[in-house]
Structure 1
Amino acid sequence: MSAPRLLVVEGNTAEARARQIHFGGQAAGEGYAQLLRELAPGAGVDICYPADPGANLPDSAGLDGYDGIAITGSSLNIYNGGPAIRQQIDLIRTAFTTGVPIFGSCWGLQLLTVAAGGSVRPSPRGREVGFGRRIRQTAEGAAHDLFVDKPGVFEAMTVHLDEVETLPEGARLLATNDHSQVQAAEIPAGRSTCWAVQYHPEYPFREMAAIFRRLRPSLVAEGFFLDEDEEEAFIADLEHFEREPGNKALAWRCGIDGAVISKAVRTLELRNWVERLVVPTRAARGRG
């Protein structure tokens, strides 16, 4: 059986990608593609940039040639509209016509929600950042292939100011927490099945460290840290985790466990998507 062909939809503008790189991170699409190549060895992974002016985007025939589509996070706010957002909504609505399975992280969940007829709002609880706490699978989530081998309650790397307000018709809520009701969902749209999460199973610790550097000094002003020295110490902890994920003292200080620390567990949602949705759908489409 040949390896699948996957498409990563980069949610950020060129300016936002450059800013993340400036602070020591990666463009979201590049990091996502790298992980998908690890989870699906031999897979062909392309990246498209629908937020860029004049981007050469695949049409329905082009999208139909892929076995799965993954959508990154983004610093955009979908309710602000504009060409960078409209082009992404149009692309995803075209993808819905193909039957190709779709996965979304953070912005990806919000983009899928709006493209399928739901709504997104600024979170009334403000920003959720660092580690999303006590994300709990619903009864449907506990029985869903998205969460096979995942703990029923877990922490996950996260950063978002917006959240799903109303899921599209027919969607199933798969996970929740005290900050945002929708932490994971399955969204049927057109001919496609979409799995999406509000957090970032694709992020390594070094990417979260870069995000915290990029967000300075906002996080002090928002009350997450007493001062910039405290924030800098937390960033150093994240970078230390990247070098030494088994450090028990750091895990205790950050209040996290293997669901975040172990890359194999942290990325399970994406592995399950590839193995339990992309591969079977590919076979059903006669592409195996």
Structure 2
Amino acid sequence: MPAPRLLVVEGNTAEARARQVQFGGEAASEGYARLLRELCPGAIADICYPADPGANLPDSGGLEGYDGIAITGSSLNIYHGGAPIAAQVALMRAAFETGVPIFGSCWGLQLITVAAGGVVRLNPKGREVGFGRRIRMTRAGADHPMFADKPPVFEAMTVHLDEVETLPPGSELLATNDHSVVQAAEIRAGRSTCWAVQYHPEYPFREMAAIFRRLSPSLVAEGFFLDEEEEAAFIGDLEHFEREPANKALAWRYGIDGAVISKATRTIEIRNFIERHVLPTRAARGRG
């Protein structure tokens, strides 16, 4: 039986990827691909870079050869348009025609939404960053396989300025919170069924720490911290969580629990995507 083939779509430009590395992080697609290989041992995880000029992107015929597609976050704003965004929308529309399961994180949700005919806007409530609070499943979400074994109300790693304003036709809202109505959705487009979330189940604490370093001092100006010293202390706590995720004092300080702290629970949406969507669809397509 051939190994499952997965494709990670990098949402960032080369410049944005380099900037994240500069602040101690990594390209979003590299971390995503590593996690997919970990959750699906033996899987092949390729990466494509549609925001890069001249990138050699698969067409629908090439996309047909994959068993699942995952889309990373991005620092882009989809309503600004331009070549890096147009290329990603075109790639998504080609992917919809293949029947290959698709998963999107943050920008991934927004990209799928726009490519399928929905609307994304700048969130009038501002940025949601750090830990998305009290994300709660809808009735549909509680019965959805993406959330199997996930607590019905949970916190999650998050960082976004934009949100889905209008889901495309044929969508189902799966989770919400007080900051953004659409925190998770199933979107049916073309022949494909997409599962997508506004938060980042794929992020480890160290990547979030790098994002906070990259965004500083903007987060002070936006009122998340009193000053850069307070922000630096928070970044230090994120890095401490990476080394010692079971630290009860830090968990109490930030009001988070196993849904964020436990890697197995934090990443369960992606595991469920593989086990309950990718592999069954692969078998149905005669590839398993």
Q: Same fold (TM over 0.5)?
A: yes
Where do 4+ consecutive residues of structure 1 move more than 3 Å? Answer: none
Q: Quick one: distance in 1 between partners of 2:216 and 2:248? A: 27
Task: Give the corresponding residue for 1:277.
Answer: 277
Secondary structure, counterpart of 1:275 in structure 2: helix
Task: Give the corresponding residue for 1:232.
Answer: 232
Task: Give the corresponding residue for 1:189.
Answer: 189
Q: Quick one: distance in 2 between partners of 1:90 and 1:181? A: 26
Q: Quick one: distance in 2 between partners of 1:66 and 1:105? A: 19
Q: Quick one: distance in 1 between partners of 2:193 and 2:180? A: 22
Task: Give the corresponding residue for 1:32.
Answer: 32
Residue 254 of structure 1, CA deviation: 1.1
Task: Give the corresponding residue for 2:127.
Answer: 127
Q: Quick one: distance in 2 between partners of 1:210 and 1:3? A: 33
Task: Give the corresponding residue for 2:3.
Answer: 3
1:81 aligns with 2:81: yes
Task: Give the corresponding residue for 2:70.
Answer: 70
Secondary structure, counterpart of 1:130 in structure 2: strand
Secondary structure, counterpart of 1:287 in structure 2: coil
For residue 115 of structure 1, what is the amino acid of its counterpart?
A
For residue 105 of structure 1, what is the amino acid of its counterpart?
S
Secondary structure, counterpart of 2:233 in structure 1: helix
Q: Quick one: distance in 1 between partners of 2:262 and 2:115? A: 33
Once the two structures are superposed, what CA deviation does each residue of 1:109-159 show, in whole Å capped at 9, x if it has no partner?
Answer: 000000000000000100000000000000000000010000000000000
Q: Quick one: distance in 2 between partners of 1:206 and 1:162? A: 23
Q: Quick one: distance in 2 between partners of 1:51 and 1:2? A: 30
For residue 267 of structure 2, what is the amino acid of its counterpart?
T
Task: Give the corresponding residue for 1:93.
Answer: 93
Task: Give the corresponding residue for 2:201.
Answer: 201
Task: Give the corresponding residue for 2:50.
Answer: 50
Residue 3 of structure 1, CA deviation: 2.6
For residue 200 of structure 1, what is the amino acid of its counterpart?
H
Q: Quick one: distance in 1 between partners of 2:250 and 2:134? A: 18
1:149 aligns with 2:136: no
Residue 2 of structure 1, CA deviation: 3.4
Task: Give the corresponding residue for 1:19.
Answer: 19
Q: Quick one: distance in 2 between partners of 1:123 and 1:108? A: 16
Task: Give the corresponding residue for 1:179.
Answer: 179
Residue 72 of structure 1, CA deviation: 0.1
Once the two structures are superposed, what CA deviation does each residue of 1:5-39 show, in whole Å capped at 9, x if it has no partner?
Answer: 00000000000000000000010000000000000
Task: Give the corresponding residue for 1:117.
Answer: 117
Q: Quick one: distance in 2 between partners of 1:173 and 1:227? A: 37
Residue 188 of structure 1, CA deviation: 0.2
Task: Give the corresponding residue for 2:245.
Answer: 245
Q: Quick one: distance in 1 between partners of 2:61 and 2:188? A: 20
Residue 162 of structure 1, CA deviation: 0.1
Once the two structures are superposed, what CA deviation does each residue of 1:71-95 show, in whole Å capped at 9, x if it has no partner?
Answer: 0000000000000000000000000
* Number of equivalent positions: 288
Task: Give the corresponding residue for 1:255.
Answer: 255
Residue 203 of structure 1, CA deviation: 0.0
For residue 147 of structure 2, what is the amino acid of its counterpart?
F
Residue 105 of structure 1, CA deviation: 0.1
C-alpha contact 1:3 1:40 (8 A) present in aligned 2: no
Residue 205 of structure 1, CA deviation: 0.1
For residue 70 of structure 1, what is the amino acid of its counterpart?
A
Q: Quick one: distance in 2 between partners of 1:241 and 1:265? A: 15
Once the two structures are superposed, what CA deviation does each residue of 1:185-215 show, in whole Å capped at 9, x if it has no partner?
Answer: 0000000000000000000000000000000
Q: What are structure 1's unaligned runs of at least 5 residues?
A: none
Q: CA RMSD in A?
A: 0.4
Secondary structure, counterpart of 1:76 in structure 2: coil
For residue 110 of structure 1, what is the amino acid of its counterpart?
Q
